[in-house]
Copies of this chain bind each other. A is one copy, B any other.
Amino acid sequence: MIDPRTELAADEIEHLYEAAIALADEAREIIQGALAAGFSVKHKPDGTLVTSTDIQVEERLRAAIEERFACHGIIGEELPARHPDSALQWILDPIDGTEDFVHRVPTFGTILALHYKGEPIVGILEHTALGLRASAAYGHGTYYRCQRSRLADLPPEVGDDRARVILSARGNFIRYRDEGATFDALARTFPNHRIYRSCYGHTLVATGAADAMVDFHDSLWDLAAARIAVEEAGGAYRTVREFELPGGQRIYSSVFGKPALVERILAVIGAAGPQP
């Protein structure tokens, strides 16, 4: 099958990439203001948190997209989808890691991506509190701190016990189906793991600061920028689970990072038992 992204001209992608960067700048400005001036916090029906800043960022980005790209689709965490049949879909997670944002743990971030016929063409991972941003576009590479990121496989002497693997918390693995045994097997095989909530893990992997990540039971917006950021840096990205909740929302689980390590992780997940 031909990758549909090859249908887009390079200058079209560049134009959309620049627009995405301008959107991330807007998100950053709102979040900087909120960190200085404060924000309100509510519990959503599912028990997770949402702040006035999540809503404010999503509303501002949606308005900017609607003004500039009236026919593009928009999928965001906090508000209903717009133009769901458009080939170009902006996918927004205004604050990924809201629990961290509320507690001023600086590893939360804004995830912003543009997908074309389901394939990512632009991805931005913006970490306002850290003053950092990773960004990628199809055919343009992944950039971080003004440098191109290139993921090389680990040297052969680095075994599973030393690989820096980021896992979702065990709570993710049992959120919609009980895949706790998969978490347990991964924690045993890769004891030098760490667990960051939110897109900070995606940034660490896309920039080589961690070797791979296993991210389970996520929504589309959680993972919207991860694949392009990792693949454009030369890494591997595999979706290992995909299912639909009763309300229709699709849930994804993915493994990504340095290619040979991704293969080793896939083997552990496979051996941990059949997909429930």
Please tell me which stretch of A4-12, A102-110, A247-255 contacts chain B, meaning at least 4 of its Cβ atoms lie within 8 angstroms of it: A102-110
- Are B191 and A170 closer than 8 Å at their CB atoms? yes
- Are A171 and B192 closer than 8 Å at their CB atoms? yes
A125 CA / B169 CA spacing, docked (Å): 25
Query: CB of A242 within 8 A of chain B?
Result: no
- Are A162 and B194 closer than 8 Å at their CB atoms? no
Please tell me which stretch of A25-33, A179-187, A257-265 contacts chain B, meaning at least 4 of its Cβ atoms lie within 8 angstroms of it: A179-187
- Are B191 and A171 closer than 8 Å at their CB atoms? yes
- Are B195 and A193 closer than 8 Å at their CB atoms? yes
- Are A162 and B209 closer than 8 Å at their CB atoms? no
A195 CA / B204 CA spacing, docked (Å): 14
Question: Contact mask A94-129 → B, CB, 8 Å, 1/0?
Answer: 000001000111110000000000000000000000
Q: With contacts A130-B106, A187-B183, A204-B105 known, is A197 near B194, CB below 8 A?
A: yes
CB distance from A195 to the nearest CB of B (A): 4
Q: Which residues of B contact A167 (CB under 8 A)?
A: 195
A180 CA / B184 CA spacing, docked (Å): 10
Residue in B closest to A167 when the chains form the complex, CB atoms: B195
Pick the contact of A209: B47, B103, B193 (CB < 8 A): B103
Q: Which residues of B contact A18 (CB under 8 A)?
A: none
Query: CB of A164 within 8 A of chain B?
Result: yes
Contact residues, A172-210 vs B (CB, 8 A): 174, 180, 183-184, 187-188, 191-197, 204, 208-210
Q: Which residues of B contact A208 (CB under 8 A)?
A: 103
Query: CB of A66 within 8 A of chain B?
Result: no
A126 CA / B161 CA spacing, docked (Å): 29
Q: A: which residues have CB within 8 A of B?
A: 47, 99, 103-107, 130, 161-162, 164, 167, 169-171, 174, 180, 183-184, 187-188, 191-197, 204, 208-210
Instruction: A103-B204, A170-B187 given; name 12 further pairs at CB < 8 Å.
Output: A99-B164, A103-B164, A130-B130, A167-B195, A170-B188, A170-B193, A171-B191, A174-B191, A180-B188, A183-B187, A184-B184, A194-B195
What are 6 A-to-B residue pairs whose CB atoms are below 8 Å? A47-B162, A103-B204, A104-B209, A169-B192, A174-B191, A184-B187
